[in-house]
Amino acid sequence: MAGKRVAVIGASGYGGLQTLRLLQGHPDLTVTFLGGERSSGRRWSELVPFLPLEDDLVVRSPDPEAIAAAADLAVLSLPNGLAAGLVPELLQRGVKVVDLSADYRYRSLAQWQEVYAAEARQVARRDDDLCREAVYGLVEVAEARIREARLVAAPGCFPTASLLALLPFLEQGLIETNGIVIDAKTGTSGGGRAAKETLLLAEAAEAVAPYGVVGHRHTSEIEQLAGQAAGQAIQLQFTPHLMPMVRGLLATVYGRLRDPGLTAEDCTTLLKASYRHSPTVQVLPVGVYPSTKWVRNTNRCLLSVQVDPRTGQLIVMSAIDNLIKGQAGQGMQCLNLLCGLEAGTGLPLLPFYP
C-alpha cells in the first residue's frame, strides 16, 4: 500500500464516523490512527460493532507525537476550541491537518474569539498566524489554494449550502448585496451525537422550529465569504430551522435581482457555467426542485433556481447531506487535495434512495 496514512481524531462522533465510513475502500488513503479521549483504550469493533473497519484499531488518546508517528495527515472532528490545542503541534511535526471545527474558519483569531466567545473563554489561543494561514476548504472556490495548504478549515454545513447557492450571483454582481435572506432547514444529526433533550426523538419528531434566529454563528462565516465574493462587506439574514429527520440540509436563498429582465433559465445557465468544473455541484432544470433525499449519503450539492418576475426576487434552493458535503465529505475532498489526488476520489455521488 503506497498511499498516505490518515489519523481520525474524534472518531466516534458523527463527523468522525462519517470520515471513517468514507475512508473505507478509499483507493489511496488508509486509516492508521483513531483518536478519542472518552473511548481511549477500546477496540473499534467493541465500540461500534456495526461499522467494521478494514483495520480494527484500538482508539488512542490524541497525543501529537503518537499521531505524527502513525500518520501523514489528520482529520480533526472535535468540539469547537479543542482543535486549536492540537493543530500547532501536528503541523510542527509535519502532519497536515483538515479541521472540521470552526477553529480556523476565520481569517483572524480575534474574529473567532468574538463569534465563539464562550469557547474562547475556555482555551488560551495564540495562533493568529495559523488563522491567517489556514485555507477555508470550500473546494469549489479554493481548490488550488487547498492543494498547497498545510491546514484546511472545512466549512460548516449551513455555509456550504448557502455559499454554493449565493457566490456565483455575488461574484457577478447580479443581486443586491443587502436584503439577502437565507432560510435554512437541517436534520438533527447536525446537532451531534451527544445527548441533548431538544434532539430526543420524542421532542424533535413531528416538530419544526426555528432556532438561533438573528446571530447564529454561521452567519458570520457566510458573510465573510459572501463579502469576499462581492468585493464589499455583506450583512444578511440567516435563519436555521430544525427538521424532524436525521440527515439533510436545505437552504432557500432569496435575493433581489439587479436586472429584472433575468429569467430562471438565464440564472440556471449561469450557475451551470460557474460549476462546470465541479462534479459535486449539480444544477437542476428550471422547475425541478431539490429534495434533501436526493443527496443523502452523497458528496453532492443540488441547486435549483427560480425567479419571480413580479417581485424581482431570485430564489436559489440548495440541498446537501449535512454530514457529507456539509462536513466529512468536504473534509475528505480537502484531504484528497492535500495528497495530490482528485478532490472527489472515493466520494459517493449516488444517493441512498428511498
Identify the residue among 77, 252, 268, 330 touching a copy of itself (CB under 8 A).
252
Buried residues in 51-71 as b, exposed as e (16+ CB within 10 A): eebeeebebbebebeebbebb
Choice from 61, 92, 122, 311 touching a copy of itself (CB under 8 A) = 311
Instruction: For residue 301, indicate whether it is catalytic.
Output: no
Catalytic residue, candidates 131, 157, 267, 334? 157
Q: Which residue has the cell 477500546?
A: 42
Choice from 118, 124, 144, 350 touching a copy of itself (CB under 8 A): 350
CB of 335 to a copy of itself, least distance (A): 18
Cβ proximity to a copy of itself, 217 vs 293, nearer residue: 293
Binding mask 99-138 for a copy of itself (x = CB under 8 A): ----------------------------------------
Q: Does 195 bind a copy of itself (CB under 8 A)?
A: yes
Quickly count: other Cβ atoms within 10 Å of residue 264's Cβ: 18
CB 294 within 8 A of CB 250: no
Region 22-61 residues binding a copy of itself, contact defined as CB under 8 A: 24, 49-52
Q: Coil, strand or helix: which one is 195?
A: coil
The answer to the question of residue 278 lying near a copy of itself (CB under 8 A) is no
Q: Give the footprint of a copy of itself on residues 208-247 (CB under 8 A).
A: 208-211, 213-215, 235-237, 239, 241, 243-247
Rg (CA), the chain: 20
Rounded to an integer, what distance in angstroms lies between the CA atom of residue 137 and that of residue 156?
10
Should residue 344 be labelled a site residue for a copy of itself when binding is judged by CB under 8 A? no
Number of Cβ within 10 Å of residue 103's Cβ equals 30
Q: Which of 41, 118, 126, 206 binds a copy of itself (CB under 8 A)?
A: 206
Q: Which is nearer to a copy of itself, 153 or 315 (CB)?
A: 315
Min dist CB 15 to a copy of itself, Å, is 12
> Is residue 79 close enough to count as binding a copy of itself by CB under 8 A?
no
Instruction: Give the Cα separation of 64 and 333 in Å (integer).
Output: 23
Q: Which is nearer to a copy of itself, 89 or 203 (CB)?
A: 203
Please report, as a single letter, which amino acid is at residue 296.
R
Q: Is 290 in the site for a copy of itself (CB under 8 A)?
A: yes
The packing angle between helices 157-171 and 218-230, to 10°, is 20
Q: Which of residues 135-194 bind a copy of itself (CB under 8 A)?
A: 178-179, 181, 183, 185, 187-189, 191, 193-194
Choose between 87 and 252: whose C-beta lies nearer to a copy of itself. Answer: 252
Bridge partners of 184, per DSSP, are 240, 251
158 close to 211: Cβ distance less than 8 angstroms: no
DSSP codes joined into one string, 314-338: EEEEEEE-TTIIIIIHHHHHHHHHH
